Amino acid sequence: MLATERRVRSGDVELAIREAGDPDRPTVVLVHGYPDTSAMWVPVFERLEPRYHVVSYDVRGAGASSTPRGPNAYSLEHLVGDLGAVIDAVSPSKPVHLVGHDWGSIQGWEAVTTSRLSGRIASFTSISGPSLDHAGRWLRRKLRAGRIGQLLRQMAGSWYIAAFDIPGAGRVVARLAPRRGLDPRTVRNGVGMYRQSMRSRLLNPRDGHTDLPVQVVIPTRDPFVSPALLDGIEHISPNLWRRRVRAGHWVQRSHPDLVARWIAELVDHVEGAPPARSLQRARVGAKRKPLEGNLVVITGAGSGIGRATALAFAERGAEVVIADINAAAAERTADLARLLGTNAFAFEVDVSDQQSMERFAKAVETEHGVPDIIVNNAGIGVAGPFLDHDFDDWRRVLDVNLWGVIHGSKLFAQQMVDRGERGHIVNVASAAAFFPSRTLPAYSTSKAAVLMLSECLRAELSNKGIGVSAICPGLINTSITRTSSFVGLPREEQEKQRRAAIRIYQLRNFTPDRVATEIVRAVRENIAVVPVAPEAKALRFLSRLSPRVMRLLARVDSTPR
Amino acid sequence: MSSARAQTPIGPADLERFRAVQALAYRCAEEVARSLTPGVTERQASAHLGRLLRENGADDWFHVPFAWFGDRTTLRGMRNPLKFFPSSRPLEEGMPYILDVAPIVGGFTADIGYAGCDGENAIFDRMIADLEEYRGLVLDGVRARKKLSQIYEDVDALAARHGYEPAHHTYPGKVLAHQVWHIEGPGPRTVVAGFGNRTLRRLGRSLMVGLSEGWSPLWNGGHRSDHAPVPGMWAIEPHLGFHGVGVKFEELLVVTDDDAYWLDDDLPHVRRWARAERVVARDGV
Instruction: Select the more confidently predicted residue: A471 or B7.
Output: A471
Task: Quickly count: other Cβ atoms within 10 Å of residue B57's Cβ.
Answer: 13
- Could you give the number of structural domains in chain A? 2
Tell me if B161 and A332 make a contact (CB, 8 A cut-off). Answer: yes
Question: Residue A561: its pLDDT value, please?
Answer: 60
Same domain, A85 and A177: yes
CA-based nearest residue in chain A for residue B159: A303
Same domain, A270 and A314: no
Domain assignment present for residue A422? The answer is yes
Q: Among candidates A47, A50, A49, which has minimal Cα distance to A18?
A: A49
Q: A253, A282, A311 — which closes off a domain?
A: A282
Is residue B214 classed as helix, strand or coil in its secondary structure?
A: coil
Phi first, then psi: give them for residue A450, nearest 5 degrees: -65, -40
Same domain, A156 and A197: yes
Report the run of H or E that residue A278 belongs to, with start and end: helix A277-282
- Specify the CATH number of the domain B12-283: 3.90.230.10
User: What is the spatial distance between Cα A311 and Cα A369, in angstroms, rounded to a whole number?
Assistant: 20
CATH number at residue A306: 3.40.50.720
Chain A interface with B: residues with Cβ < 8 Å: 303, 307, 311, 315, 329, 332-333, 335-336, 339-340, 479, 482, 511
pLDDT digits (tens, 9 = 90+) for A56-111: 999 999 999 999 987 788 888 899 999 999 999 999 999 999 999 999 999 999 99
Tell me if B163 and A511 make a contact (CB, 8 A cut-off). Answer: no
Question: What's the whole-number mean pLDDT along residues A105-118?
Answer: 92
Query: Can you name the residues that pair with A558 across neighbouring β-strands?
Result: none
Domain assignment present for residue A484? The answer is no
Domain assignment present for residue A154? The answer is yes
Q: A225, A255, A282 — which closes off a domain?
A: A282
Tell me if A332 and B163 make a contact (CB, 8 A cut-off). Answer: yes
pLDDT digits (tens, 9 = 90+) for A460-504: 999 999 999 999 998 887 777 777 888 888 888 888 888 788 778
Question: What's the whole-number mean pLDDT along residues B52-65?
Answer: 94
Domain span including residue A230: 4-282
Query: What type of residue sits at position A421?
Result: E
A20: alpha, beta or left, given left = phi > 0 and alpha = psi -120 to 50?
beta
Same domain, A356 and A445: yes
Domain assignment present for residue A195? The answer is yes
Taking chain B, what is the end-to-end CA distance rounded to the nearest angstrom?
Answer: 46
User: What is the spatial distance between Cα B62 and Cα A443, in angstroms, rounded to a whole number?
Assistant: 50
Instruction: Select the more confidently predicted residue: A392 or A191.
Output: A392
Q: Is the pLDDT of residue B6 over 60?
A: no
Shortest Cα distance, chain A CAs vs residue B155, angstroms: 14
User: What is the spatial distance between Cα A297 and Cα A415, in angstroms, rounded to a whole number?
Assistant: 13
Is there a contact between A426 and A375 (Cβ–Cβ < 8 Å)? yes
Tell me if A336 and B160 make a contact (CB, 8 A cut-off). Answer: no
pLDDT confidence of A150, banded at 50, 70, 90? Answer: confident
Q: Domain boundaries in chain B?
A: 12-283
Using alpha carbons, list the distances in angstroms from residue B113 to A153, A245, B269.
67, 56, 10
Task: Quickly count: other Cβ atoms within 10 Å of residue A290's Cβ.
Answer: 11
pLDDT digits (tens, 9 = 90+) for A390-445: 999 999 999 999 999 999 999 999 999 999 889 999 999 999 999 898 889 999 99
Question: Residue B7: its pLDDT value, please?
Answer: 55
B69: Cβ contacts below 8 Å, ≥ 6 apart: B41, B42, B45, B89, B90, B91, B92, B95, B96, B97
* Chain A interface includes B163 (CB < 8 A): yes
Phi first, then psi: give them for residue A122, nearest 5 degrees: -95, -35
Q: Among candidates B12, B199, B4, B1, which has minimal Cα distance to B107?
A: B199
pLDDT digits (tens, 9 = 90+) for B116-131: 999 889 999 999 999 9
Question: What's the whole-number mean pLDDT along residues A363-372?
Answer: 95
Using alpha carbons, list the distances in angstroms from residue A12 to A8, A30, A262, A482.
11, 22, 35, 82
Same domain, A467 and A524: yes
Q: Compute the mean pLDDT over every residue in chain B, rounded to the nearest whole number.
A: 91
Is there a contact between A33 and A129 (Cβ–Cβ < 8 Å)? yes
Question: What's the whole-number mean pLDDT along residues B253-277?
Answer: 93
Task: Quickly count: other Cβ atoms within 10 Å of residue A438's Cβ.
Answer: 16
Is there a contact between A308 and A333 (Cβ–Cβ < 8 Å)? no
Question: Residue A259: its pLDDT value, please?
Answer: 95
* DSSP secondary structure letters along A99-161: EEETHHHHHHHHHHHSSTTTTSEEEEEEES---HHHHHHHHHHHHHHT-HHHHHHHHHHTHHH
Q: Is the pLDDT of residue A284 over 90?
A: no
Question: What's the whole-number mean pLDDT along residues B239-265?
Answer: 95
Task: Dihedral sign for Cα B75, B78, B79, B82, please.
Answer: negative
* DSSP secondary structure letters along B270-282: HHHHHHHHHHHHH
User: What is the spatial distance between Cα A374 and Cα A296, in angstroms, rounded to a whole number?
Assistant: 6
Task: Dihedral sign for Cα A30, A33, A39, A43, please.
Answer: negative
Cβ-Cβ contacts under 8 Å, B243 against chain A: 311, 315, 339-340
Cβ-Cβ contacts under 8 Å, B160 against chain A: 303, 479
**Residue in B126, B160, B161 nearest the CB of A339:** B126
Shortest Cα distance, chain A CAs vs residue B144, angstroms: 22
Cβ-Cβ contacts under 8 Å, A327 against chain B: none
pLDDT digits (tens, 9 = 90+) for B165-219: 999 999 999 999 999 999 887 778 888 888 988 899 989 999 999 999 999 999 9
Instruction: Indicate the Cα dihedral angle A458, A464, A465, A467, nearest 10°.
Output: -20
**Is the bond leading into A35 cis (omega within 30 degrees of zero)?**
yes
Same domain, A316 and A196: no
B134: Cβ contacts below 8 Å, ≥ 6 apart: B155, B158, B238, B240
Same domain, A276 and A301: no
Taking chain A, what is the end-to-end CA distance rounded to the nearest angstrom?
Answer: 75
Active site residue A443: yes
User: What is the spatial distance between Cα A96 and Cα A123, in angstroms, rounded to a whole number?
Assistant: 7
Task: Dihedral sign for Cα A233, A235, A237, A243, please.
Answer: positive
Instruction: Select the more confidently predicted residue: A154 or A533.
Output: A533
Shortest Cα distance, chain B CAs vs residue A93, angstroms: 47
* Chain A interface includes B285 (CB < 8 A): no
Q: Is the pLDDT of residue A43 over 90?
A: yes
Shortest Cα distance, chain A CAs vs residue B229, angstroms: 21
- Long-range contacts of residues B155-163, Cβ cutoff 8 Å, at least 24 apart: B155/B238, B156/B221, B157/A482, B158/B133, B158/B134, B159/B240, B160/A303, B160/A479, B161/A303, B161/A329, B161/A332, B162/A332, B162/B130, B162/B240, B163/A307, B163/A311, B163/A332, B163/A333, B163/A336, B163/B242
Same domain, A236 and A330: no
pLDDT confidence of B254, banded at 50, 70, 90? Answer: very high
Residue B55, Cβ density class (10 Å: 0-12 exposed, 13-18 middle, ≥19 buried): exposed
Same domain, A189 and A307: no
Of A502-506, A556-560, B226-230, the one with minimum mean pLDDT is A556-560
pLDDT confidence of A235, banded at 50, 70, 90? Answer: confident
Domain assignment present for residue A201? The answer is yes
Cβ-Cβ contacts under 8 Å, A479 against chain B: 160
Query: What type of residue sits at position A447?
Result: K
E strands in B22-157: 60-69, 96-105, 108-109, 112-117
Q: What is the pTM of this model?
A: 0.82
Instruction: Select the more confidently predicted residue: A29 or A189.
Output: A29
User: What is the spatial distance between Cα B236 and Cα B219, in angstroms, rounded to a whole number?
Assistant: 9
Domain assignment present for residue A128? The answer is yes
Question: How many Cα atoms within 13 Å fall on the side-chain side of residue A396?
Answer: 12
CA-based nearest residue in chain A for residue B121: A339
Question: Residue A560: its pLDDT value, please?
Answer: 63
Question: Residue B3: its pLDDT value, please?
Answer: 45
Share of chain B above pLDDT 90, in %: 80
Question: What's the whole-number mean pLDDT along residues A108-137?
Answer: 91
Question: Residue A72: its pLDDT value, please?
Answer: 83
Same domain, A277 and A351: no
Question: Residue B5: its pLDDT value, please?
Answer: 42
Highest-confidence segment of A127-131, A193-197, A468-472: A468-472
Task: Quickly count: other Cβ atoms within 10 Å of residue A401's Cβ.
Answer: 27
Report the run of H or E that residue B236 belongs to, with start and end: strand B232-236
User: What is the spatial distance between Cα A514 and Cα A396, in angstroms, rounded to a whole number?
Assistant: 28
Same domain, A215 and A311: no
Chain center to CA of A110:
29
Same domain, A263 and A327: no
CATH number at residue A148: 3.40.50.1820
Cβ-Cβ contacts under 8 Å, B157 against chain A: 482
pLDDT digits (tens, 9 = 90+) for A333-366: 999 999 999 999 999 999 999 999 999 999 999 9
Q: Is the pLDDT of residue A185 over 60?
A: yes
User: What is the spatial distance between Cα A109 and Cα A103, in angstroms, rounded to a whole number?
Assistant: 10
The number of residues in chain B equals 285
